Structure 1
């Protein structure tokens, strides 16, 4: 097992963690926003005046992609990418950065999909009771809370990684 880690080195492990954070979050955000967009098109064919409400619900699952990008940025910053050159990381340091990115990678991945499902279901509120559409936003906010916790965990871990 040690040979496996030494083959990639600390830099490879750190880049892998950063890449997983942004990739998983963005893939899931695309899936979540896509689900909401599909649900919204049915409503918009009958009631185009509800476009802004549907758009707000669609944007919500996309925030995890931004959070993943923030963690990616923090990971690269920790590696020294924005200060003149990437630091030669030991396997332990690289693994520390990799593991620090995991809360956002997995938390953002799952919360974007589940938030997309909640937002897609909330499109039904827009269709049947347009004045109550903010309740759907509140329901989406509950899922968003866990994405924010994942972001916080990864950022705090990365701030203390090296």
Structure 2
């Protein structure tokens, strides 16, 4: 066991990347689950009185789920960059990648929860006036922008970091 830990954290640095990948996916997943719960709870309340709105409300309800996918994509790319082939990652590069993934995880966590709240407000708006759907979807989409920016900067850094000694 000590040899494995020494290899992952001491010699190759891959352990730091694994740790960052895990934290990123966990935070993104928690945020998406919480955001989806917030939006789904609101949708369920509206659907009990207006089931014909399901199609429109579904779009608003599932938006907070994207952050979990974004975290998975970034962690997957980091894993490919680190573990595909016979690559060796330096300790400083692995720590930098770990910190990037953890920071992205927090972006996805917070934006998913806030997007769930914004989606719930948009769901209420559509429930009161169905014709406002086009305007209502813009509000949670604005929150989505920051989740996407977190993913994009992570992809750029992951693909450009010099991981090979």
On whether the aligned pair clears a TM of 0.5, the verdict is yes
Residue of structure 2 equivalent to 1:8: 9
Distance 1:96 1:150 in 2: 15
Distance 2:48 2:61 in 1: 16
| Mapping for residues 8-157 of structure 1, pairs under 5 Å | 8-9=9-10, 10-81=13-84, 83=85, 87-157=87-157
Higher mean Cα deviation, 111-120 or 9-18? 9-18
Deviations 1:58-79 (A, max 9, x none): 1111111111111011110111
Count of aligned residue pairs for this structure pair:
155
Distance 1:119 1:68 in 2: 20
Helix, strand or coil: the match of 1:46?
coil
Higher mean Cα deviation, 91-100 or 137-146? 91-100
TM-score (norm 2): 0.87
Higher mean Cα deviation, 152-161 or 44-53? 152-161
Q: CA deviation at 1:135?
A: 1.5
TM-score (norm 1): 0.88
Deviations 1:17-63 (A, max 9, x none): 11111111111001101111001111101110001111100111111
Distance 1:91 1:103 in 2: 18
* CA-atom RMSD in angstroms: 1.8
Any unmatched runs of 5+ in structure 2?
1-5
Deviations 1:64-95 (A, max 9, x none): 111111101111011124x4x6x443322210
